[in-house]
Structure 1
Amino acid sequence: MSKLGIVAIGRNEGDRLQQCLQSVVGRAAQVIYVDSGSTDASVELARSLGVNVVELDLSIPFTAARARNAGLARLLEIAPDLNYVQFVDGDCEVVEGWLEQAQKVLNTQPDVVVVCGRRRERYPEASIYNHLCDLEWDTPIGEAKACGGDAMMRISALQAVGGYNPYLIAGEEPELCVRLRQKGGKILRINAEMTLHDAQMTRFGQWWKRSVRAGYAYAEGSWLHGAPPECHWVKESRSIRLWGLIIPALLLTTAIPTHGFSLLLLAGYPLMAYRAYRFAHRSGRTRIEAWLFGLACALAKFPQAQGQVRFYWGKLFRRPSRLIEYNTSTSKSNKPVIDF
């Protein structure tokens, strides 16, 4: 117990934050909540539960990476002898038994610097977008290249690489994992339930914005670590540009000169969806789930391309990165809301 600290981050999480903090209070030496300018009662709620609160300076742009760094810094001010930190997003609840299982891995495998498990969507039946989140998080067990926002990390390894990159608005965990692996650390995903996530994503526009953010993250990740041998997200970024930008441009500019033959390029999209479907179905998903996943993978190329353009446009004109938030509302209820 004395080796572990918790850092939760959030902004206007409503009831989700209460579930998050109650799932970890009393289960670690220290619990820190980092608030990024909430306008609800998040700060008061956290303090009422006996949680140490860090309120980020409003004059500096918010990022999840910045919040996690601030939480870790406060954690080590209070308890400098801690070995491990569990990061958790404020819209997630830590599953009973996870903290003990993750600590056991770090205790017995010194080369492992990050351990993560299965994040599940709390209400996958509430909308197809929530269900897509649940499918996305069902990743293979074993050594991995990256983790997500919820993970337990070895503090000494984090300090050795300087923590998270505070300027990244998305994709900060995979970028951190690149640097951790370059130092010889291993990222391990174990077969264990880790967290329950409440996306509250019920509208197509929210899914689109989330995909734009993913495209932005792919572009920035390849910009930072695209050189060999890492080639971080280079293949993914090329695929996004091909299917989300180049092929649509070719269709628009060559349809008349080729008498419509260029429209045959459209066949590539269902083929792409079918390949993603086969992957998901072989991974144990039902046919309906696999088709949903495949169609979403194909459609997502367009908002992801928008995110890539946004990144390079900002680089070209030296504009600062701004958060891309897909869910800015605060829920007062934990019940599913169906809104397709």
Structure 2
Amino acid sequence: MNKLVSIGIVVIGRNEGERLKLCLQSVRKAKCKVVYVDSDSKDGSAEFADSLGISVVRLNDDKPINAAIARNAGFKQITSESPELEFIHFIDADCELNAGWLKHALTVLTDDDKLSAVCGRLREKNVKESIYTQLCDMSWYIRPGIIDSCGGIATIKVDIFKQFNGFNETLIAGEEPEFYSRVREKGYTVRCLDIAMGTHDCAMVSFKQWWMRTVKTGFGFANGSQWGAWNKRQHSILIWVLLIPITILCGSIIEPWLLISALIFPIQILKIGIKSTIPYSFKDKLLDATFCIFAKLPQFVGMVKYQVSRFSKEQNKNIEYKA
């Protein structure tokens, strides 16, 4: 029996253009049910998917749009059209699926009743395009084995997704770890396989794009307070953005030589680089460590943005970084 007949693929996207075309070409090779969820694209994305005979769910901007809402909508559509499906693979329209991933994923999932979902190695497609694509590639790395959460690209059991009511639609970032935290609380596991899952094209070539993407991360950290997550990360951001700089500034006003204490920043970067276990060169690790520290500033902006959004009732309004 062909196991792939029991799996469907949900693609979500917004104005991804050529990236969407490459994504749909890659998933169609799997020869299984595909649904595309379009988040109010203006570039003809929905029409292109229609032309391929793919079922399209159109979301419009009369209400908030985010990845959680799109994935839930795609899951609802694909399971209503094909109620026999046992597994769903979620993928974003800026990604391409590795040809052998689904067979590996289904073999592992069917062999373990307590395993809820699996993900694999995701690589940045144009990793050498800019330092930002290099950073993105490093951020995708997950050590193989039992993990706390998959990202948005993952293969999951249908009954698990139904049992836990999908992703929290009030979260514009961090919806995956929130979902898997609920799953793990009930004794299910999540695993990263040491197998290529696909490629991602962040198209991130400017500092502004990196900044906005990192602001969104900080927004997600603050949003995590709703479900008791990332308090340590928020504390770390406040320490490095506010407490340490203010302490150095105040100290140097009294004793100018205390400005030397600003060396704590490069020292911390070196410390992170040395301790890093990601499978990259030491030069790459230092690049990652440098931006890890600098990222705390836009992350702080994101935390502030979240607090402001609570009063404007726009907590689930998406933050975009792509042109």
Structure 2 unaligned residues grouped into runs of 5+: none
Count of matched residue pairs = 319
Corresponding residue for 1:338? none
Corresponding residue for 2:244? 247
Q: Residues 81 and 244 from structure 1, CA distance in 2 versus in 1: closer, same or farther, beyond 3 angstroms?
A: same
Corresponding residue for 1:313? 308
User: What SS does structure 2 have at the residue aligned with 1:23?
Assistant: helix
TM-score (norm 1): 0.90
Instruction: Decide which of 124, 129, 132 is 2:127's aligned counterpart.
Output: 124
The code of the aligned residue for 2:280 comes to R
Corresponding residue for 1:260? 256
Q: Residues 3 and 302 from structure 1, CA distance in 2 versus in 1: closer, same or farther, beyond 3 angstroms?
A: same
The code of the aligned residue for 1:23 comes to S
User: What SS does structure 2 have at the residue aligned with 1:309?
Assistant: helix
1:17 aligns with 2:20: yes
What root-mean-square deviation, in Å, do the aligned CA atoms of Structure 1 and Structure 2 show? 1.5
Identity rate, percent: 39
User: What SS does structure 1 have at the residue aligned with 2:57?
Assistant: strand
Q: Report the Cα offset of residue 259 of structure 1.
A: 2.2
1:143 aligns with 2:146: yes
1:81 aligns with 2:49: no
Corresponding residue for 2:216? 213
Matched-pair contact (CA < 8 Å) for 2:141–2:278: no
Q: Report the Cα offset of residue 247 of structure 1.
A: 2.1
Q: Report the Cα offset of residue 309 of structure 1.
A: 1.5
Aligned counterparts of 1:191 and 1:173: Cα–Cα separation in 2: 20
Q: Report the Cα offset of residue 166 of structure 1.
A: 1.0
User: What SS does structure 2 have at the residue aligned with 1:58?
Assistant: coil
Aligned counterparts of 1:261 and 1:313: Cα–Cα separation in 2: 38
Q: Report the Cα offset of residue 265 of structure 1.
A: 4.1
Instruction: Decide which of 263, 269, 284 is 2:265's aligned counterpart.
Output: 269
Question: Aligned ranges for residues 18-57 of structure 1 at < 5 Å?
Answer: 18-57=21-60
Q: Residues 253 and 28 from structure 1, CA distance in 2 versus in 1: closer, same or farther, beyond 3 angstroms?
A: farther
Q: Report the Cα offset of residue 207 of structure 1.
A: 0.7
Corresponding residue for 1:193? 196
1:106 aligns with 2:109: yes
Matched-pair contact (CA < 8 Å) for 1:6–1:28: no
Matched-pair contact (CA < 8 Å) for 1:245–1:305: no
- Find runs of 4+ consecutive structure 1 residues off by over 4 angstroms: none
Corresponding residue for 1:291? 286
Q: Report the Cα offset of residue 272 of structure 1.
A: 2.0
The code of the aligned residue for 2:313 comes to R
CA deviations 1:303-323 (Å, max 9, x no partner) are 1111111112333x3531232
Q: Report the Cα offset of residue 146 of structure 1.
A: 1.0
Matched-pair contact (CA < 8 Å) for 1:5–1:28: no
User: What SS does structure 2 have at the residue aligned with 1:189?
Assistant: strand
TM-score (norm 2): 0.94
